[in-house]
Chains A and B, each alone.
Chain A
Amino acid sequence: MSGSILNVENVTMQFGGVVAVDNLNLEINEGEIVALIGPNGAGKTTAFNVVTGVYQPTNGRVSFLGETIVENHPQGKMKKLYKGEHAGEYSHVLAPTPDRITKLGMARTFQNIRLWKSQSVFDNVLIAMHCRTHTNFLAASLRLNHKEEQEQRDRVAELLQTVGLYDVKDEPATSLPYGKQRRLEIARALATDPKLLLLDEPAAGMNPQETNELTAFIGQIRKDFGMTVFLIEHHMDLVMDISDRIYVLDFGKLIAHGTPEEIQNNNRVIDAYLGVAEDA
């Protein structure tokens, strides 16, 4: 497909005997905001980790921008333990480290905020630009990259202004309130110059007002940066508000997929998830 940016094909992730993600298939097109929802422990974060190279899937294939980036089939002791489907379909093994996938243009945030704690807000974003640096080690140490460095600093300033963190740029990252730390993590991911942004529960722990701000913020990112966004989220208001499409995961399996309206009216989803979330 021409507009497809991320393609997850028959991905199964098994930890020993535990099947965390079971035969997942999904597709994200350029410019979309797609949500992945499901109860706790459904395997959403694991799916992210497979896509970003943190975990090597047990079976299946992930393509990004038309190229296969991750592929695996059950090997060694997993051959016997494997409980999923499509076992014989894949023969290549492709397992790049997360930094290589990031360089291809995919950036993420974490469910538990993972900022560089003792670094300033400014430096957190600046460090994320390191992966786009062209200067080699010696030249950078000898300050021969003056121009590039200044360019990066200007871009960080600009980025911080866009996300509304410029006035706290010299504060240590961890001194920020929770909502701003989440925002900083997104800014940091944007600094790696991605085409696809993966957000793992960006509104976790936020109050309703912060959540509303975040919803607007994600919309703004799509508009300003032309970004494709793939997010995991529990706040249904946010999800229904901004998503173009929604995938629903339960016990590692995809149980539904469709537009927000379709999902809201899907009985299986209401049974497995939405009913519970509404009560909570």
Chain B
Amino acid sequence: MDLTLRVWRQPSPDAPGSFETYPAEDIDEHASLLEMLDIVNDRLTEQGVEPIAFDSDCREGICGTCGVMVDGKAHGPMENTAACQVHLFNYRDGDTITLEPWRARGFPLRKDLIVDRSAFDEIISAGGYVSVNTGSAPEANLTPVDKGTADLAFDAAACIGCGACVAACPNGAAHLFTSAKLSQLNMLPQGQPERYARTQRMVTIMEEYFGSCTNYGECQAACPQDISIDFIAMMNKDYRKSKFRNRRAS
């Protein structure tokens, strides 16, 4: 099929950027959005134009590396689908597709469609773990977890850390991301001892980089794993409690 691309090009963080238009002709409808970019990039290279920089790795929707705004939607037209999983059979011949980077205060732009998402790592390092040294773990089946809780913890843990939730949020908030990790750990027995300290620290770091949540709910629709905004409510509850507990502790 024949498509036209409008792509944000920006050579470096400080340089000005602009949209460029490129033809994407004669492309198989089974190709993915990113495979189309591969083909366009090969053609640009032949013409002596520097290829479009974009992130991707696994190309199967699990590593969270890919991420672009496609016609104004994080990861493109399909709900709960990462950009690498969007195939062109979802488009019509002759369509124009606009590609832009994630735009959010917490994700500074690096080049073309690539942004820096390291703030997510900072949130995790502020408590997104259970403190258990290697070798000190008890026998696994001594800690039964009821299936409902285990399944819900999995649903939260499924987050791929792509940042679509932030990109889709009008406030650039990272509440879905942060609450997914918090909920996973805070609902499991293993996560109880650090529950409130973890919540307090992670939320504090989150607020340093990202906007506030005003319940738009765009994040869940954009999330490739369909992470539920219910987890945000769980986080808020734990956060309120954590303030109370920490007051008592001090």
The reply to whether chain A is a binding partner of chain B is: no
Name A residues whose Cβ lies closer than 8 Å to a Cβ of B. none
